[in-house]
Amino acid sequence: MGKSCRLSKLCILCIVLALSSVTTIVVLWAVALTGDGGDGVPAPWDRYRLPTDLVPAVYNITLWPRLSPEPITGLYIFTGQSTVTFQCVKETDVILIHSNKLSYTKLDHECIVRVSTAGGGPAPTVGSTWLQPQTQYLVIQLNSKLTKGQQYELYSEFTGELADDLEGFYRSEYEEDGVKKIIATSQMHPTHARKTFPCFDEPAMKAVFHMTLIHPRGTVALSNGMETDIVDITIDGAALTLTRFEPTKKMSTYLLAIVISDYTHTRATQEDIVIRIWTRRMAMDQGNYALNITGPILDFFQSYYNISYPLSKSDQIAIPDFFFGAMENWGLVMYRETNLLYEPMTSSSRNKEKTATIIAHELAHMWFGNLVTLRWWNEVWLNEGFATYVSYLGADHAEPSWNMKDLIVLRDIHQVFAIDALASSHPLSSDKDSILLPDHITEQFDAISYNKGAAVLRMLSDFLSEPVFVQGLNSYLQNFAYSNTIGNDLWQHLQMAVTSNHVSLPSSVHDIMNHWVLQMGFPVVTIDTATGQVSQKHFLLDESKVPVESPYNYEWLIPVRWMKSDEVQTDVWWLMEKKEVNLEMKAGASWLLANINVTGFYRVNYDLGNWERLLSQLHSEHQVLPPINRAQLIDDAFNLARAQMISTTLALRTTSYLSLETEYMPWQSALDNLHYYHLMLDRTRVYQPMQDYMKKTVTPLFLHFKSITSNWTHALDKHTDQYQVNALHVACTTGVTECLDLTSTWFQQWMGNPQHNMIHPNLRSPVYCSAMAAGDEAEWDFGWSQFKKATGASETKRLMSALACTLKIPLLERYLSYSLNSTLIRKQDATSVITSVASNRVGHSLAWDFVRKNWEYMFSQYGVGSFSFASLISEVTARSPLLLNSCSWNSFVEEHQAAGFGSATAAVEQAMERTRANIRWRQRNEQEIFDCSTVKDLSQHSCEKVIWDIRHLSMTQFISIQFPTSEGSQINNLYQ
């Protein structure tokens, strides 16, 4: 026993010593890895921002992508060599350089990198290297410190996968004449250059890039600079071509671009700028429109910025698989095919318009964003908002008859109002320390940055005047060319222009704009025309949701343009406080209209008397009000009603004059807002009366376009008249017999002669959708076959959307299953397929179930390069009351909360807030409707008969108010 006891004590002692040793080793290893000596400060390689010790100057990069899979692994790969020359601005013994998913080749002395002094001389030796996957660094620990002021070179050789993930250096595939073609292409923005070569991958780390590409003979290599040297070479028996390019201007890593393909191009010269449009060989003619407008748009921006285009060439290329709509790589702009290509025989006027505005958006970046770049991603709105705003100016210059400048109100301002009215919105600018992770960066590229950014800059240009705005802009670009800035730098240069032109402002540009940029949301301006009192208030769709604290207490400095009756006031009036009095706004018997042409980023409410006078004007002579403001009145009214600031009755009354309206903008505004009612009241007894109301309202518009197009046989001259598709779409979806017969006949004729599609391109979207909804499996299979055969990008997109219009559940389930098969649906299009099905009444629950079931797979296997998860969440939760009632939404969020939602995090929060607000809206309005004892009697009639304030109005009174002329008596008789 005694011996046994002593042995046990010895064992215990050994165990304790062993555990102590292990603990010591672990602690030492942790210190070595993190550099945390106990003071809690993370090591440099555990921080997501680069230190400022080293500044890159020049990269020399050679890449060789393999356009056929490796025989053993079956993977497509690329190999590369990189030398980056950098300057040490602060002594350090650690080199941190971004690297993600790259494997390195061992060089001298088993090291994977070589450090040398530029120009010769001794350099510190490499002690150790390792990859830090979480922060995406290659860490190089040196045995001694780099010398301040000295330039060094870092050389490495590496291998990466040429995957189909749409990130970094990746591959895209397509078929031509039955042959599969492979493209090696790139998407470096925002943080994917590090997946292509080791680099200092932050926008402020600008450098010059010398690029060399090795590629199969017979293919063409493109990069940012013009090709300078093209030679045939042989490596290990493989016949190859080596292409060198002129060095780039000093620029950020995210603007680097690489493409290897067997594409062809069309070419033009604008002064000394070479313009080339690159396409698949079979699509070359579809690049002609882009070629024709690129020169005029470049000319416009050279004049607008008063700075010459900085490069020798402007390449634009259509890529079959591309995540973003387009990317402004300096000198080599990349597009989704549908955004660059235009084919007159199959593309609609809307396709043409989209091509013009997107080209203008990307070319605007050649100066604002590329020549001068924001220092960090927390102010991405300034890049994207500016390009969005001036894209309408550039497109308007290229196509002056289209009146493009007005369309920003529908396309951008009205759209972003809906998001920025949520308490889960966010300011345009964020604190730079809150935007660190790649997912956080990607999240910044949302509607707030693009649409609100454009709206706020448009407002700024308006109250400064365009000449003063442009003068300040030119000063800013000249001063900061080839460098980086923060937003305040622009305000400073605009203030200089304001001062030199003696422009009177109530405060500095900096102070005015900070109210709009540093707090989220926007105000509603309420004008009491009886007293002249004007007030402002933070507009929220759901006031029960408390927003985050604001540095300006949710007050804005608001420029107000207004008119009284038909007299426009020439001066801007500023609302500087919560409440003020402007006696000139006492209207008396006249009507008053504020925010003329929606130049201000705010909504407007009035006293009831002024609303009545405006509605009376709409019914008597609506053309007196500008078309933009007719659209604004509808959009403001519907959203004010959702926020319980006016009655639902009043909002609906703004649409009652539409039977007299033929302009595009007011109609589109009404349809956008009535779509919300369509979603919220789906599967209620109110749904069909709403459909009947829309059917009655749209019929005159349908007949109007039928008449002026000679029974739909020819196109119209006025650009916005091409949106007669609204008349066709609404007429068919609400059951206008003539429309259903027309679309069915056209589609059947096409099915009978597939080689000869007589349906006009402007009308194909509503015709295809209507025919698919009315048809069966035969129509769907025909649509699918035409989709697979389509060679034009716009026709492909139309058919892809139409296939989701079927009302047959097995077909929708089949289509959803196709979305995750990249041989059937391109990865870039998977989101569109799912959201299109979700927009179908029959398909919504199917799409939601599909997303819930496959979320983990989509999130892990497809990733943000392929899926727009924010769009996916937004669309599948559009009919959100149905989701919450089933509790499936809450369970979905809880199930995936731990893993997170990546770039869709903000979208999830917004969807949850929208859902709560929508449920309250539906309960409040639905109850009001169904408590009415006459609902059963009205269930067959139009929407005006159903949605009204039952506490005060009889049906006859309601109709009389809506239709104050003899038309009211006729409608009353119709309802009896």
The catalytic residue positions are 362
191 vs 434: CA distance, rounded Å = 16
Per-residue three-class SS string for 696-735: HHHHHHHHHHHHHCCCCCCCCCCHHHHHHHHHHHHHHHCC
| Coil vs helix vs strand at 302 | helix
The H helix count followed by the E strand count for the chain is: 33, 31
Angle, CA 458 vertex, CA 454 and CA 463 arms, to 5°: 155
280 vs 337: CA distance, rounded Å = 10
431 vs 393: CA distance, rounded Å = 31
Pair 289, 342: CB distance under 8 Å = yes
Per-residue three-class SS string for 737-797: HHHHHHHHHHHHHHHHCCCCCCCCHHHHHHHHHHHHHHCCHHHHHHHHHHHHHCCCHHHHH
From residue 351, give the alpha-carbon distance in Å to each of 246, 284, 346, 347.
35, 17, 10, 6
From residue 736, give the alpha-carbon distance in Å to each of 675, 723, 729, 862.
18, 18, 10, 42
**Containing H/E element for 342?**
none
Nearest to 80 by CA among 175, 213, 191: 213
Nearest to 448 by CA among 906, 879, 839: 906
From residue 322, give the alpha-carbon distance in Å to each of 107, 326, 339, 792.
35, 8, 11, 16
464 vs 496: CA distance, rounded Å = 12
Pair 873, 904: CB distance under 8 Å = yes
* Plot region of 487 (φ>0 → left; ψ -120 to 50 → alpha; else → beta): alpha
**Containing H/E element for 429?**
none
879 vs 681: CA distance, rounded Å = 9
Task: Tell me 42's DSSP state.
Answer: P
809 vs 846: CA distance, rounded Å = 8
Q: Which residues contact 212 (CB under 8 A, 6 or more apart)?
A: 60, 61, 62, 63, 242, 243, 244, 245
591 vs 900: CA distance, rounded Å = 51
Count of C-beta atoms within a 10 Å radius of residue 791: 14
* Plot region of 36 (φ>0 → left; ψ -120 to 50 → alpha; else → beta): beta
Pair 366, 375: CB distance under 8 Å = no
Nearest to 582 by CA among 627, 526, 641: 526
270 vs 441: CA distance, rounded Å = 36
| Coil vs helix vs strand at 581 | strand
From residue 113, give the alpha-carbon distance in Å to each of 49, 55, 104, 813, 902.
22, 18, 8, 52, 33
955 vs 957: CA distance, rounded Å = 5
Token pair belonging to 48: 């997501």
Per-residue three-class SS string for 225-260: CCEEEEEEEEECCEEEEEEEECCCCCECHHHCCEEE
Angle, in degrees to the nearest 10, between helices 453-464 and 380-398: 70
